[in-house]
A and B are shown apart, each in its own frame.
Chain A
Amino acid sequence: MPTYQKKIFDSFKSLIEDNKENELDKKVLNDILNRVIDLAVKEDRGENIDPNIKAQTNNIVDLFS
């Protein structure tokens, strides 16, 4: 993960920690957050987003199948 993205991701850490005690929940939330940050950063930079990555990010439900 690029430093810039990691910095943003880390800034959410305490909020997730405060919100959840369950490690699995934390892991899921972090995973979703990570995907969303990645997509937002790419969009922000005007980068072309691979449709597969977009589909994957949208398909959060995969995490639970």
Chain B
Amino acid sequence: MIIQKVELNNFKSYYGNQVFNFKNGLNIVSGKIGTGKTSLYEAFQWVLLDSMSFKDNIDEDFILNKKFEFESLQKNINQIESSVTIFVEEDSIVYRIKKENVYTIKNNDCQIQEINTSISFEEPRTGNSKVILDRREVESKLDELFPEKLRKYLLFKGETLNQLIDFSNPNTLEQAVKQISYLPLFSRMSRIIDDIIEKTDRKYRNKLQANARDQKKSQQLNYDLESKQRDLTAKKDKFKQAKIDIEKLEEKEKEYTEKLSFVAGFPDLKEEENRLEYQRKRAFDNLETIDKESKQLFINKWIIAKSHPLLDKAEVELRKFISWRQNEIAVSREQLELGVPGDHLIRRMVKERKCLICGTTEKDNPDLIKIIETHLDENKKVKNLLSDEVEDLNEKVMDIVKNISPIKTSTSDIKRDLKNHILRNKEKEGEIASINEALKKTKEKIEDLIKEKGYQILELDPKTITSAIQRVKGDLATKRSQKEFYDKQVRGLESEIRGLNKKFEELVGLEEIDVNEIPEKKSLNYLYEIKQIIDKKVDIEKNDLIEKIENEANKIQKSIIQQSKDNDIIVLYVKISKDDYSISFVDKDGNPNPGHGAQETLAKMSLISSVLKLSNEYKGESYPFIVDAPTSNFDDTITKPFIKSVSENFTQGLVILKDIHLEIDAYKNEEFTKSIHTIEKSSDTPGESSIINSYTIINPIK
């Protein structure tokens, strides 16, 4: 099976419709932190795991691309979608597995309306397109394509590796071994044989009964035997079921208890994280308010700053006008309008005893002084008039100047406010930066804890875990007492049947007939033999498979270590218990060595590679291997040999890797890399990056 491509439509950091095209062989997707690598992994997880009721859920609220959501809100669009489509090719049929969230927008709020998963393909026989929409059918088809028991090996995050290959929990490996082998089929064959034996045995007894001396008694005995046998089968089934239930519950209890002990120190960190997140939100809100106020102040300042020179100019012009008018008045004192003489002229006229306007002298007219006095009166009148005008003008100018001053004052106030705002803004930004720093540290601590144990953060609610443990404990107590009850009944029935059988054989008088000549007896002999052969086959198969897994895992490790040229790393030889599939690691001398860090990771990854490789060899089924950050524990000397080994062991590998841009050419030139995509974050506003303006860009490199 091959994954041809993945289409991400407004999914998480992927804005619009973006496509990754993959090839047969090794495909690498690489990018820096926060560019959308995990979002790509989560796209697979969302479609292939979540739709199968897996617990490793992704928060649906964070599926929709925020930039798209923001734009849709701005444009008042009523309905939008976010989807992922995986194109899978299996036996020349291309299956399009699509999961989409449909959202409705009401009152500026975006809500999930429905979640749909569909699988479409062309029927090979008819060529007609077929679309599977029914949830159960979709799940069944998905299980066919990606078997549930293998899925966790096919699709996982590097950080969950410890959970996946857990030394203390053999069940995961046992499930995988059963999936890749014919062991479950052999068990089914064994059960079928048991059924046939039981039926044949009944016929055999009936034949014997026919020979019985006391027909009535033997009939009754046979009837009792059959009834007890039926009862025994039913009780055995119930006992078996109780045992299976107990195993499952014990496994759950163990898992929950481990989680609970893991989260013992975790709530504080989570609370701290929530508190910091809240503080950050508050600080951002404050910042936004300050920002809005600053904007208004800037606008005011701008208006005033622009009008300021105009006001200055107006004041200057007014003052100019006043001084011009005063000049005019001064001049008018020399030569007033309408022939009215000014003070100076009158003084000269009185001194010279001559009208300097009309040239009349005292000689010419003895009333000259009177005429001049008349002029003087007129002069006074005009002067009064002018004084009023000047005074009026002055008053107006004063008014204007008075109004200009407060405007100038308010400008400086605004400047001061603005300065304060900028300071407050800086303070808030500083506050946010320190909150971010604290948040980063807390998140890192949480991440470290998660990496250490491999649990998903969303699953870690101590209250839920505690109540789940209580529930499981209660169920376990019930099931254990049921099991004990059925066990006692089974033993009692078996003993009763043994007694009845003895009586029956005595009654039918076996010595009188040759039982080996009875066909049912012959059949029974063969059936018991076949039963033995099947049981033997199960043992051989199991041992053989375990040895193959061990050898293959060790071979893969050796090959990677040889290529890495790192002398500090040794092979951790994988040992799998043939009794219960528990895993341990030993050194070359057989001494236990659980390993640590990269070495342990490498050993576990080799184990996974080995299981999946054998699946391919065993049943001729091949699956793509999708893994996010498998090499986060590795240094560069092991990363490349490890990736190369993935290309050798899997028909198709989709490896999402840490940033390899420094070695991109080297990877590009490697023959084993069939496709390389790098991803990066881009923003609508260069230099600024926020959730609503940034998005992931895919660069196909090879």
Contact = CB atoms under 8 A, between A and B. Distances in A.
A53 interface: no
Contact of B196 (A11, A19, A25, A57): A57
Contacts of A41: 185
Interface stretch (B254-262, B376-384, B525-533): B525-533
A37 B189 CA distance: 6
A15 B195 CA distance: 22
B537 A40 contact: no
Contacts of B534: 12
Given A39-B192, A44-B184, A65 B530 contact: no
Contacts of A1: none
A53 to B, nearest CB: 12
Nearest to A30: B530
Contacts of A39: 192
A65 B518 CA distance: 9
Contacts of A44: 184-185, 188
Interface string A42-65: 011000000000000110110111
B193 interface: yes
B544 to A, nearest CB: 10
A29 B532 CA distance: 12
Contact of A15 (B196, B519, B533): B533
Contact of A58 (B188, B196, B522): B196
A61 B533 contact: no
B185 A19 contact: no
Most chain A CB inside 10 Å of its own CB: which residue of B182, B184, B199: B182
A60 B196 contact: yes
Given A12-B537, A28-B526, A58 B199 contact: yes
A11 B534 CA distance: 11
Contacts of B541: 11
Given A15-B537, A29-B530, A57-B196, A40 B523 contact: no
Contacts of A15: 533, 536-537, 540
A40 B192 contact: yes
A16 B188 contact: no
B537 A11 contact: yes
B287 to A, nearest CB: 61
B184 A61 contact: no
Interface string A15-33: 1100100000100110011
Interface string B500-541: 000000000000000000011011001101100110110011
A19 B533 contact: yes
Given A28-B526, A29-B529, A64 B184 contact: no
A39 B519 CA distance: 22
B491 interface: no
A43 B523 CA distance: 23
B24 to A, nearest CB: 24
B529 A36 contact: no
Nearest to A32: B530
A64 B515 CA distance: 13
Centre residue among B192, B195, B537 by max chain A CB count within 10 A: B192
Nearest to B522: A64
Given A39-B192, A60-B196, A33 B530 contact: yes
B620 to A, nearest CB: 9
A61 B520 CA distance: 6
Most A CB within 10 A of own CB, among B188, B200, B203: B188
A60 to B, nearest CB: 5
B179 to A, nearest CB: 12
A39 B199 CA distance: 16
A43 B188 contact: yes
Interface in B176-202: 182, 184-185, 188-189, 192-193, 195-196, 199-200
A51 B591 CA distance: 56
Given A29-B529, A40-B189, A44-B185, A65 B537 contact: no
A11 B182 CA distance: 11
Interface string B530-556: 100110110011000000000000000
B533 A64 contact: no
A16 B193 CA distance: 16
B192 A61 contact: no
Contact of B526 (A32, A37, A58, A65): A32
A16 B519 contact: no
A63 B182 contact: no
Nearest to A20: B529
Interface in B250-280: none
B536 A8 contact: no
Nearest to B140: A46
B529 A61 contact: no
A64 B529 contact: no
A16 B526 CA distance: 11
Contacts of B536: 15
Contacts of A36: 189, 192-193, 196, 530
A58 B203 CA distance: 11
A64 to B, nearest CB: 4
Contacts of A57: 192, 196
Interface string B309-349: 00000000000000000000000000000000000000000
Contacts of A33: 530, 533
B527 A32 contact: yes
B526 A8 contact: no
A8 B182 contact: yes
Contacts of B530: 29, 32-33, 36
Nearest to A43: B188
A28 B660 CA distance: 63
Contact of A60 (B185, B188, B200, B537): B200
A13 B530 CA distance: 12
Contacts of B533: 12, 15-16, 19, 29, 33
Contacts of B540: 15
Nearest to B199: A58
Contacts of B526: 25, 28-29, 32, 60, 63
A8 B527 contact: no
A40 B527 contact: no
Interface centre among A8, A29, A32, A61 (most CB of B within 10 A): A61
Interface of B: 182, 184-185, 188-189, 192-193, 195-196, 199-200, 203, 519-520, 522-523, 526-527, 529-530, 533-534, 536-537, 540-541
The 5 residue pairs across chains A and B that have the minimum distance between CB atoms: A64-B519, A40-B188, A61-B523, A40-B189, A64-B522
Given A36-B530, A44-B184, 12 more contacts: A8-B185, A16-B533, A28-B526, A36-B196, A37-B189, A40-B188, A40-B192, A44-B188, A57-B196, A61-B522, A61-B523, A64-B523
11 contacts: A8-B182, A12-B537, A15-B537, A16-B533, A36-B192, A37-B189, A40-B192, A57-B192, A61-B520, A64-B523, A65-B519
